Amino acid sequence: MSLDYRKILKIAKEAAFQAGNYLKENFEIKPKVEFKGEINLITERDRKSQQIVYNIISSAFPEHSILGEEELNVERNKEFLWIVDPLDGTTNYAHGLPYFCVSIAFVENDETKVGVVYNPMLDEMIWAIRGEGAYLNGKRLKVSKEIDINKSLLATGFPYDLRESEENNINYFNSFIYKAQAVRRCGSAALDLAYVAAGRYDGFWELKLYPWDTAAAALFVEEAGGKVTDFSGKPFNPFKKECLASNGIIHNQLLDVIKKVRKK
């Protein structure tokens, strides 16, 4: 079955824009917050945003499967899967911090073919079709040219179970903070990866991620000339828990730091 990836991209953009616009319009109104875990939040905005995305995708592609962060798992044709994060950066959103996005990926036979991330507060639509480059509002993206980890700006995040689990990224953070020029922890893995593709960050690492966090934006990094792997340097898989992304030039330097931490 031959697919029109341009049509898929158009629908993904429309869904991301409509959901993001809903989130932006209601940003100043404090949402009702529930807890999926001790520090893992969900709001009614997550659910409404996801419903907006679901309705648009299902209307256009009723035969496709859809996986969403907020308990959405519709199994139809297993060949074609949409992966949705309706509000990546929920904690930021709930506190009135304008760093969040909507992320949508289209996966065909286990390979991401189309990705869209929309940052509504800056009106930044970031997208890619595999093999055709990555773009931000029409401008083609290129990763940074930084060659030295010491001059690099990195991004990361921490898992929600960091209080209970020893595998909580603190050991990696403590090592990278001394190796890089600076490390940012802004609360949206999808935006962090998108900004690696845009050259705003030189690298990103995080563990205990989910496919809706990374499936779309990891494609951006690859299409912008960067590299994405797991923590051992093996090919990246959004259904695995580890993600290491970079401009490609400093990737081995980042891997060296991770390997040294793991040996301790």
CATH number for the domain including 26?
3.30.540.10
Averaged pLDDT in 10-residue chunks for the chain of 264 residues: 90 98 94 69 87 97 94 90 97 95 97 98 98 97 98 93 81 97 98 98 97 98 98 96 97 97 84
Same domain, 196 and 97: no
- Compute φ and ψ for 251, nearest 5 degrees: -60, -45
Chain position carrying tokens 């990836």: 5
Chain position carrying tokens 């595998």: 167
* Overall domain count for the chain: 2
Residue 263 CA, distance from chain mean position? 28
Same domain, 163 and 185: yes
- The per-residue pLDDT for 35 is 73
Compute and round to an integer the Cα radius of gyration of the chain: 17
Residue-number span of the structural domain to which 79 is assigned: 5-140
pTM above the 0.85 mark?
yes
Helix axes 170-179, 251-263, angle to 10 degrees: 130
- The per-residue pLDDT for 36 is 64
Same domain, 55 and 180: no
Per-residue pLDDT of 211-249, as tens digits, reads 999 999 999 999 999 999 999 999 999 999 999 999 999
Alpha-carbon distance 204 to 183, whole Å? 9
Per-residue pLDDT of 170-180, as tens digits, reads 999 999 999 99
- The per-residue pLDDT for 41 is 60
Same domain, 163 and 113: no
Same domain, 81 and 169: no
- The per-residue pLDDT for 38 is 59
CATH of residue 215's domain is: 3.40.190.80
